[in-house]
């Protein structure tokens, strides 16, 4: 890692990483089946594909993806996120993932370590591209990705404060009151951002750029909703431990009662934006 090249980045350390590991939902098997199909992924030991999960966080993509390739490199600039990811891999007995500290700026140096001219089968970026420089990253990945392989920019549904439901609007209002400013972050999930990413993939020379959507219905219990909120607040802005009961009480007072025993209903829309190297 070249620390001098690390750009300013959000702070996912400490309790934020802990809440991310415990409360952020992962991705359904259909997402990994789609990646395997689009990129023709090969899991054979020794000769199969190498995957890069950039901005891997606590391993939501890297761990299930490991079953579809020879090796995954999970790369992230936050040591606490990587530590949680490694612990999850150990618990699950997943051995073919290598965890590396680094950012999008470190991709050329990583690829130079790997065997072969075009060592990468696929690079996945889940809920993280909005902190990277897409043009430079895609230009760096293009010559390092094998024919038929490519890049997947993945969005795991809209943030909990940005959904078109009464409970989400109430949550947004309560967060805006707490932080004293509008909460507008869509974290790379809105249509305009996704169109910009598609254009950046095409400009870098990726072809067959397309979006596949996997949608399903789910629900968040009040605890899961609160944990998800804590996983999304930058560490310096997280309420101190002693203030969290009051913070949670204010959010709960603003939210309507969960309409079902399962909690707050959520229409989860996963977007897989993919671009390939011809071949």
Rounded to 5°, angle at Cα 85 from 84 and 91? 90
Span of 52-60, 197-205, 220-228, 248-256 interacting with ligand SAM by CB under 6 A: 52-60
Among 19, 64, 68, 78, binds ligand SAM (CB under 6 A): 78
Pairwise CA distance, residues 166 & 153, whole Å: 29
Pairwise CA distance, residues 222 & 235, whole Å: 21
Cα dihedral 229→231→237→240 (10° resolution): 90
The binding track of 8-27 with respect to ligand SAM, each residue x by CB under 6 A or -, is -xx-x-----------x---
Span of 76-84, 110-118, 160-168, 240-248 interacting with ligand SAM by CB under 6 A: 76-84
Q: Is 189 in the site for ligand SAM (CB under 6 A)?
A: no
**73 vs 255, beta carbon nearer ligand SAM:** 73
- What distances in angstroms separate CA 79 from CA 85, 86, 261, one per listed residue? 10, 10, 37
Among 31, 72, 73, 104, binds ligand SAM (CB under 6 A): 104
Pairwise CA distance, residues 237 & 247, whole Å: 12
Q: Is 220 in the site for ligand SAM (CB under 6 A)?
A: no
Question: Which residues is 235 bridged to in the sheet?
Answer: none
- Taking alpha carbons only, the member of 112, 232, 238 closest to residue 172 is 232
Among 76, 111, 161, 273, binds ligand SAM (CB under 6 A): 76
DSSP helix/strand/coil, 57: coil
- Taking alpha carbons only, the member of 121, 79, 122, 126 closest to residue 99 is 79
**137 vs 278, beta carbon nearer ligand SAM:** 137
Span of 75-83, 114-122, 170-178, 213-221 interacting with ligand SAM by CB under 6 A: 75-83
Q: Do 157 and 189 contact (CB within 8 A), yes or no?
A: yes
What percentage of the chain's residues is helix, strand, coil (to nearest 5)?
A: 45, 25, 35
**14 vs 147, beta carbon nearer ligand SAM:** 14
**57 vs 150, beta carbon nearer ligand SAM:** 57
Q: Is 159 in the site for ligand SAM (CB under 6 A)?
A: no
Span of 2-10, 43-51, 166-174, 258-266 interacting with ligand SAM by CB under 6 A: 2-10
Total residues in contact with ligand SAM, by rule CB under 6 A? 23
Q: Is 224 in the site for ligand SAM (CB under 6 A)?
A: no
Span of 112-120, 128-136, 167-175, 215-223 interacting with ligand SAM by CB under 6 A: 128-136
Pairwise CA distance, residues 133 & 216, whole Å: 30
Among 52, 57, 96, 120, binds ligand SAM (CB under 6 A): 57
Q: Is 131 in the site for ligand SAM (CB under 6 A)?
A: yes
Q: Do 138 and 151 contact (CB within 8 A), yes or no?
A: yes
Binding site for ligand SAM (CB under 6 A): 7, 9-10, 12, 24, 54-57, 60-61, 76-78, 81, 103-104, 126-128, 131-132, 156
């Amino acid at each position: 890692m070249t620390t001098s090249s690390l750009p300013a980045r959000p702070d996912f350390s400490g309790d934020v990483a802990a809440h991310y590991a415990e409360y952020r939902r992962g991705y359904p098997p259909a997402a990994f089946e789609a990646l395997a199909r689009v990129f023709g992924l090969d899991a054979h030991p020794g000769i199969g594909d190498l995957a890069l999960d950039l901005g891997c966080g606590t391993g939501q993509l890297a761990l299930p993806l490991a079953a579809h390739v020879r090796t995954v490199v999970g790369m992230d600039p936050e040591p606490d996120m990587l530590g949680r990811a490694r612990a999850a891999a150990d618990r699950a007995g997943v051995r073919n993932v290598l965890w590396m500290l680094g950012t999008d700026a470190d991709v050329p140096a990583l690829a130079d370590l790997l065997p072969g001219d075009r060592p990468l089968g696929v690079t996945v970026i889940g809920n993280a591209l909005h902190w990277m420089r897409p043009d430079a990253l895609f230009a760096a990945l293009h010559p390092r990705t094998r024919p038929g392989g490519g890049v997947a920019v993945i969005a795991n549904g809209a943030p909990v404060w940005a959904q078109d439901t009464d409970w989400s609007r109430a949550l947004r209002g309560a967060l805006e009151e707490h932080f004293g400013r509008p909460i507008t972050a869509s974290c790379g999930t809105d249509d305009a951002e996704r169109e910009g990413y598609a254009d950046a993939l095409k400009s870098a020379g990726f072809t067959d750029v397309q979006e596949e959507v996997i949608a399903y219905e789910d629900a968040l219990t009040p605890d899961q909703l609160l944990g998800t909120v804590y996983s999304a607040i930058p560490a310096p802005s997280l309420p101190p431990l002693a203030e969290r009961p009051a913070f949670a009480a204010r959010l709960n007072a603003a939210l309507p009662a969960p309409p079902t025993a399962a909690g707050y209903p959520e229409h989860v829309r996963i977007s897989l934006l993919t671009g390939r190297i011809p071949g």
